[in-house]
Amino acid sequence: MGDRADSWVGRAVPRLEDAALLTGNARFIDDLSPLPGIRHVALLRSPHPHARILGIDAEAARAMPGVVGVVTGAELREHLNPLASAVRAPMAYYPIAIDKVRYAGEPVALVAAEDRYLAEDAAEAIEVDYQPLDAVVDPLAALATEAPVLHEEAGGNLVHHRQFAYGDPEAAFAEAAEVVRLAWRYPRQSATPMETYGAIAHFEAAPERYTVWSNFQGPFILQPLMARALGIGGNQLRLIAAAHSGGSFGIKQGLYPYLVLLAAASRLLGCPLKWVEDRLEHLSASSSAADRADEIEAAFDGEGHLTGLRFDNLVNVGAYVRAPEPASVYRMHAAANGCYRVRHIAIQNRLVTTNKLPIGLNRGYGGPQFYFGLERAMDLAARRLAIDPAEIRRRNFLAADGFPYEGPAGAIYDSGDYGKGLEMLLEIADYPTLRARRDAARAEGRLFGIGLAAGVEPSGSNMAYVTLAQTPEEREKAGGRSGGVACASVAMDPSGTVTVHLDSTPAGQGHATVAAQIVADALGLRPEQIQVDTAMDTGSGAWSLASGNYSNRFAAIVVGAIAESAGRIAGKLKAVAAELLEVAADDVELAEGRARIAGVPEQGIALGRVAAATHWHPAGLPDGMAPGLYDTALLNPAVLDAPDGADRVASAVTFGFLCDLVALEVERATGRLRIERYASVHDVGRVLNPIVVEGQVRGGFAHGFGAAMFEELAYDQDGNFLSGSFADYLCPTSADLPPLEFANYETASPQNPFGSKGMGDGSSMLTPVVLANAVADALDLDEVELPLSLDRVWRLANPETDGR
Amino acid sequence: MMRLPPGQRTRVTCTVNGQAHSGFAESRTLLSDFLRHELHLYGTHVGCEHGVCGACTVVLDGRLARSCATLAVQAEGAEITTVEGLAADEGLEPLRQAFSRHGALQCGFCTPGILASASHFLAARPDPTEAEVRDMLSGHLCRCTGYEGMVRAILEVARETTEGANQ
Ligand code: FES
Ligand code: FES
């Protein structure tokens, strides 16, 4: 499939989404008013990073004009169960503070009023009596015995600790010719979609149920968790995702506690509630990637073969462990060998709570932090062993003829040819010339550096990988977990036109277009003839735990479900048409809107007539054939098995590959980085639509570049939040980004009918480390941290000034 | 000067996309909220309300304005063009198609503001350099695309229009 020269799949089909977006006709959550009587919510949030709530006086606020009501955590508590996670430490997470606030920005009270302005007025009139407590924001400081404890019940801030060994890491390190060791801090960042969180929650007493419209994007494994928090059955919580979402990059996963909060408040106040987050709320209290204090040790033999790895990961989860955390530290776990052959790996994972906002999904999800260690270590080893950084990677790559490859921690790599990608990269970037330029620049005393990085991009997550947070015995007790189910429905109506439903809640990734390309190929139609409904509704469409938009699952798994469903519709159309044409079903082909006899294209009938027969005249259908043309596929990739007793798991379905090279000069006088060249080569399997693929690569690069250069959700030592606007949290603009030279090649994945792999995260994972590698090379340093802000780089480039 | 006590609404009348519109606003009502929730022109988007991201950009009396940093009452008697008005401009069809071809949009949330700026810019600067385009776009944040597609689309349309005019 997808191979035919005339297929839509693979072509640069302009996106079907674009027309509405370019004319102001696309509707986002804040544009919706799905029922009458909606009241508007403002949230009062804690100004303190850590404080006890002694009392809340909302009398004045309740009496203000236009105010419908105020709800506090203490009032909501009776109606809510805590939100669960895979971490078993005793600590309760509610969507609103109950008796203590644990980060600046934590919701303390909810106000509903006629409009948002009045709600905000009333929120200001609420008086909260706080008893401030000492705060801690640094993950290492939070481990100290004298550190302020966030959750007294948990007995300390260390809330999760597991150690793993694969192969024989002890022996690998004992026998190593060279061991490199690095310790570093990785800053906190957030992908900050341009559209913030938004939701409308509506409680109905009879029958008792909640309907919530929002821009939540899954994973829908959180739906049953939300229902439990509300104390209701799953079918009493209907989640509807708006058809358009203004970006997510994982971040909108963190919306779910707010959905629970709004739902419960809608019940208490007796009216539908709408809340749209403002930018300050988003930056201070939505979600973010984790900051970490990590260490890595890498063992090499004398020829630069990587023989052992030790990871020590210390994850700052923020104030609460919010599901699906601790997944971010387990996302790369099963593929901890990266793109290399190393078999002996030890991993220690610790999660620590601090007075920062809780972490969650964010583009790359644990990947940027993981690769920062591994790929810094590879560059460092290359320097120590005097091997070219490209060569040391080449020597360690998985062999191109060794796929599928089972990694030591259980990842099953589907396909690849990493050496080919690296050769392409070196050629595109003209590596020899860059090295000569570096020599020449250095001879003149200039600070010129080249950075390289390579890695795999796991896509289509196994929902069970997060259960590595539990011991095999705990998993055994909890019952089996595995899989990553995708759902898609294809329907042909009586007039012969097609509607597709997806469970992938896209936020700009062109899912509707690619789905239409797939269905058009299967049914012999044109993509623009297909309607694709991306407004997911758990009350009316097929969905499962893995539904949603994360882990690049669309091109890895969802496409297979679409193809399966469309294939069954095509089969039925052929069977019905065969009767009408009086030929065998095998002799019927679907093309140009007709069912026709293969090889005799002029003999055929319009698809509309075939479709009509299934709807208008079921009695005339072949014996045993069901009426209508409606099909739903629920597809689970067989490779996604449960974790085994040795903590190994096939964590993802497809493994893309990418490698990046950057050449830059550090301006000693200013600390500015002048990027000479940035090249990136990707293997995303078969490309389904080049416009979408290139867009994802460039967007991921922009996120990675911003993360490397200036993005940081900053707190002061006392826990005060310092990045409350886009003037403080600096995202890259068109003037900041250097030109990206992008190329791709294809090794087809055997995991779906198209050979495509998930993609979209890759560049966000490698761009930070490749820039750090180049700066380290330019300055001849071992230790470099992010962001590579002017002052940091200037200090590194001018060590003799001692930072002054 | 008109004085409006807090909480009191007044009728604001203006021309939006060539049509007379009127609706109620308080003295503090933002133009972005007025356009969206009072006039129901939801094409204008709000990304920050701090005047930084540019998503809310509209054309106000011939100039670009951040509608989140403008009060509705300031628009009394004004002429405003939003993305809905740009959509009716056939002359901008090449720009829209170029945006689509070059992947200049993904989620499209930033797009209405960027179309306002880009069309305004091209009208004043029909044959810009890449640096000028990047400079113009630097007043907008897009978290999806990395801007490259926008730069290419705008330069391509500029080139085609100038070549067309020179023929
Ligand atoms: S919403 Fe107006 S500039 Fe961001
Ligand atoms: S296209 Fe999503 S923010 Fe620009």
- For a pLDDT cut of 70, what percent of chain A falls above it? 99
A10 burial class (0-12, 13-18, 19+ CB within 10 angstroms)? buried
- Structural domain A40-133+197-276, CATH architecture: Alpha-Beta Complex (3.90)
Alpha helices in A742-782 (DSSP H): 762-779
Task: Report the pLDDT value the prediction gives residue A2, as an integer from 0 to 100.
Answer: 41
Element (H, E) at B140: none
pLDDT of A5 reads 62
pLDDT tens for each residue of A651-688: 999 999 999 999 999 999 999 999 999 999 999 999 99
CA distance A86 to A749: 31
Q: Give ∠ CA A4-A9-A12 in degrees, rounded to 5.
A: 115
Q: What is the pLDDT of residue A3?
A: 46
Task: Round to whole Å and give the CA distance between A760 and A700.
Answer: 6
Q: Which of B107, B119, B121 to mutate to test the interface with A (most CBs of A within 10 A)?
A: B107
Distances (CA, A) of A485 to A193, A219, A557: 26, 11, 8
Mean pLDDT of chain A: 96
Beta carbons of A729 and B143 less than 8 angstroms apart: no
Give A726 Cα–ligand 1 centroid separation in angstroms: 10
**A197 near B CB under 8 A:** no
Per CATH, the number for A291-464+641-797 is 3.30.365.10
Strand positions, DSSP E, A585-649: 588-591, 594-597, 600-606, 630-635
pLDDT band at A86 (very low <50, low <70, confident <90, very high): confident
Nearest CB to B87: which of A23, A699, A703? A23
DSSP-assigned letter for residue B35: I
pLDDT at A208 over 90: yes
CA distances from A114 to A5, A49, A196, A746 (A): 58, 30, 21, 55
Partners of A71 in the beta sheet? A110
CATH 3.30.365.10 residue ranges for chain A: 291-464+641-797, 485-635
Percent of chain A scored above 90 by pLDDT? 97
Q: Which ligand is nearest to the CA of B70?
A: 1
Q: Mean pLDDT score of chain B, rounded to an integer?
A: 96
Residue B94, preceding bond cis, omega within 30 degrees? no
Give, in degrees to the nearest 5, the angle at Cα A288 between A99 and A96. Answer: 20
**3-state class of A689 per DSSP?**
coil
Distance CA A563, CA A137 (A): 48
Ligand 2 atom closest to the Cα of residue B104 is: 1
Q: Which amino acid is located at A624 in the chain?
A: G
Predicted pLDDT of residue A742:
97
Please give the domain boundaries of chain B with CATH numbers for all domains.
9-86 (3.10.20.30), 89-166 (1.10.150.120)
Closest ligand to C-alpha of residue B146 is: 2
Please tell me the number of the ligand nearest to residue A506's CA. Answer: 2
- Provide ipTM, 2 decimals: 0.98
Reported as type and span, the H/E element at residue A800 is: none
- Range in A84-93, A594-603, A665-674, A782-791 with the lowest mean pLDDT: A84-93
Looking at residue B3, its pLDDT comes to: 75
Tell me which residue of A513, A488, A532, A502 sits closest to A689, measured CA to CA.
A513
Q: Is the pLDDT of residue A690 over 50?
A: yes
Q: Which of A280, A327, A359, A319 minimizes the C-alpha distance to A120?
A: A280
Which pLDDT band, with edges at 50, 70 and 90, does A692 fall under? very high
Nearest Cβ partner of B149 from A117, A192, A695? A695
Per-residue model confidence (pLDDT) at position B163: 87
pLDDT in tens, A139-191: 999 999 999 999 999 999 999 999 999 999 999 999 999 999 999 999 999 99
pLDDT tens string A574-583:
999 999 999 9
The matching CATH number, chosen from 3.20.20.70, 3.50.50.60, 3.40.50.300, 3.30.365.10, for A485-635 is 3.30.365.10
**Dist. CA A195–CA A242, nearest whole Å:** 12
Phi and psi, residue A155, nearest 5°: 80, 5
Q: Residue B167's pLDDT is what? A: 67
pTM of this structure:
0.97
CATH 3.90.1170.50 residue ranges of chain A are 40-133+197-276
Q: Give the per-residue pLDDT at B6.
A: 80
* CA of A732 vs chain B CAs: smallest distance (Å): 8
Alpha-carbon distances of A414 from A262, A295, A431, A459, rounded to whole Å? 42, 29, 29, 11
- Give the residues of chain B that fall short of pLDDT 50: none
Q: Which two tokens stand for residue B15?
A: 């021309």
Which among A502, A455, A362 is positioned nearest to A682, based on CA atoms?
A455
Nearest to A194 among B134, B143, B151 (CB): B143
Q: Whose CA is nearest to atom 3 of ligand 1?
A: B51
Summarised one tens digit per residue, pLDDT across range A292-332 is 999 999 999 999 999 999 999 999 999 999 999 999 999 99
Cβ contacts of A710 on chain B, cutoff 8 Å: none
Give residue A1's pLDDT: 44
- Asked if B135 and A735 come within 8 Å (Cβ–Cβ), the reply is yes
DSSP letter at A673? E
A191 touches chain B (CB under 8 A): yes
